[in-house]
Amino acid sequence: MSHPTVHVIDDDAAVRDALRLLLTTEGLEVVTHDSALGFLASIDRGSTGCVVTDVRMPEMTGMELLLKVKEMGLSLPVIVISAHADVPLAVQAMKEGALDLLEKPFDDEALLGAVRLGLAFDSGKRAQSTQEQEIARRLTTLTGRENEVLAGLLKGQPNKIIAHELGISVRTVEVHRANVMAKMQAGSLPELVRMSLTGQAKGQQQESEAGPPVDH
């Protein structure tokens, strides 16, 4: 995975240089771009970090970039900067998914605080996504019978009811339940329920993104 990077996008070279100096002085990795299109041409889906972009730029504005970032599915928080920030612009930026909007000239600490928040937000999202993927993977290791027992547990059914509905003994349900707990690495029933719901939601999302099966 790439190193977390702050992408600074501004058509003004002086602004790009000033922001680069400020951010690199804080030990951050910075890449500057003179246009939104240049940024999009150089970025990939696996990129980590955050984006600091001006609003008013030729070819593609900062607001248009916000929409494009969402459309491309890039997981990069976007901080918008503008010399003419007003309430309508701020509302529009937030609605389009901006993490923050700063008005020029802004205090250095205000920008650094927003960038730190963006990097932490991106890291948190990725950690959550990785955990969800692992839970979904664990679910795929369950046998058909273990899935049936898990379904009963998710309904809040006691072992006796699950055994009756599946036509097996309570002892067999207990064995399958123990196997489910072990495979899912759950320390308690509430944790198992939470993990299962999270994993199922992730699995459904992946199926949706993959699209309908193709008939041959």
Q: Which fold has domain 5-127?
A: Rossmann fold (3.40.50)
Q: What is the DSSP letter of 48?
A: -
Provide the pLDDT confidence category of residue 170 given band limits of 50, 70 and 90: very high
Provide the pLDDT confidence category of residue 202 given band limits of 50, 70 and 90: low
Vertex 196 angle, CA 193 and 197, to 5°:
85
Q: Where are the domains of the chain?
A: 5-127, 140-209
Name the one residue in this structure whose structure tokens are 């970032």.
Answer: 69
Higher pLDDT, 146 or 73: 146
Vertex 51 angle, CA 50 and 55, to 5°:
155
Vertex 116 angle, CA 115 and 120, to 5°:
115
CATH of 140-209, one of 1.10.10.10, 3.20.20.210, 2.70.210.12, 3.60.21.10: 1.10.10.10
Same fold, 5-127 and 140-209: no
Q: Is the pLDDT of residue 92 over 80?
A: no
Q: Is the pLDDT of residue 188 over 70?
A: yes
Return all residues near 70 (Cβ < 8 A) that are at least 6 apart: 96, 97
